[in-house]
Amino acid sequence: EAQVTQNPRYLITVTGKKLTVTCSQNMNHEYMSWYRQDPGLGLRQIYYSMNVEVTDKGDVPEGYKVSRKEKRNFPLILESPSPNQTSLYFCASSPTSGSTDTQYFGPGTRLTVL
Amino acid sequence: GESVGLHLPTLSVQEGDNSIINCAYSNSASDYFIWYKQESGKGPQFIIDIRSNMDKRQGQRVTVLLNKTVKHLSLQIAATQPGDSAVYFCAESNSGGYQKVTFGTGTKLQVIP
C-alpha cells in the first residue's frame, strides 16, 4: 500500500532531550516536507527536500534539523526540544514539487515537550 | 488531530445542501492554490487545486473558484454529505508547486444529518 509513515505517533519528552521523528514513504517520491500544526495557526512548513541531499528551510525552521540521505526517509531532528515545539507534526511527500503531483500526508506525530 | 478543530470558524450545513468555504490569501505573487480536507485524527488530504491562470476548476462534487483581483478562493461542495464533515484548509504557493506552501488557518465544516 502506498503510504507515508511517521514514528512515533505520540511522544512526551522533556526539555533538552534530543529526539528524532522518522518519516518514510514507499512511493519513490522526490519531494518531502515537514509541517507543524498548531491551533489557530494552521500548518506551517518547517523544512522541505527536493531530492536526496537537497534540503531547504520553510517558514519555521528554528530549532529543527533534517537530513535526506536516502530517497524514502526524511527524519526531523530536534537537538534540544523546548516546550514551544509542542505541536502536531506532519510529514508529506509528492513525486516532485510540481503542481501536477498530489502531495500525500502522513498520519501525524503528536509531540509534547515538558 | 482533535485539537485542530478548536477555535476555528465553523460552517454548519444541512445534509444535501451545497457548502461554500471561503479563503482569503495574502500574497499577490501566489500562482498555485490547493484545498485540503482534514478529518479528525488524520493528516490533510488533497481535494482540488487551481493555478493562477484559471478562475474556476471542477472536480467530483467540488468546485474551486479563484478571484485574483480580491485575493479570494472558495471551495464549493455540492450535495454535502456527513462524510464531508472535516476541517478544510486552503494553501497558496508562489513557486508553482509545493516547494514553499503557506496554509490558511482552516474552516470546520459540520454537516447536520
pLDDT per position as a tens digit, A65-112: 999 999 999 999 999 999 999 999 999 999 987 766 788 999 999 999
| Confidence class for position B6, pLDDT limits 50, 70, 90 | low
| Record: contact B51-A99, CB cut-off 8 A | yes
Is the pLDDT assigned to residue B99 strictly greater than 80?
no
What does the pLDDT average to over A26-32?
A: 94
A75 upstream amide cis, omega within 30 of 0: no
| Confidence class for position B7, pLDDT limits 50, 70, 90 | low
Is the pLDDT assigned to residue B97 strictly greater than 80?
no
| Record: contact A99-B43, CB cut-off 8 A | no
Q: Closest Cα to residue B47, out of B9, B77, B3?
A: B77
3-state helix/strand/coil string of A5-53: EEECCEEEECCCCCEEEEEEECCCCCEEEEEEEECCCEEEEEEEEEECC
| Record: contact B100-A108, CB cut-off 8 A | no
| Record: contact B96-A110, CB cut-off 8 A | no
Question: Which residues in chain A touch residue B98, judged by CB atoms under 8 angstroms apart?
Answer: 31, 33, 48, 92, 94, 97-99, 101, 103
Distance from CA of B38 to the nearest CA of A (A): 10
Is the pLDDT assigned to residue B1 strictly greater than 60?
no
Q: What is the model's pLDDT at position A42?
A: 85
Q: Closest Cα to residue B24, out of B111, B93, B91, B98?
A: B91
Q: Is B16 on the interface with A (CB under 8 A)?
A: no
What's the mean pLDDT when you consider all of chain A?
Answer: 94
Distance from CA of B72 to the nearest CA of A (A): 18
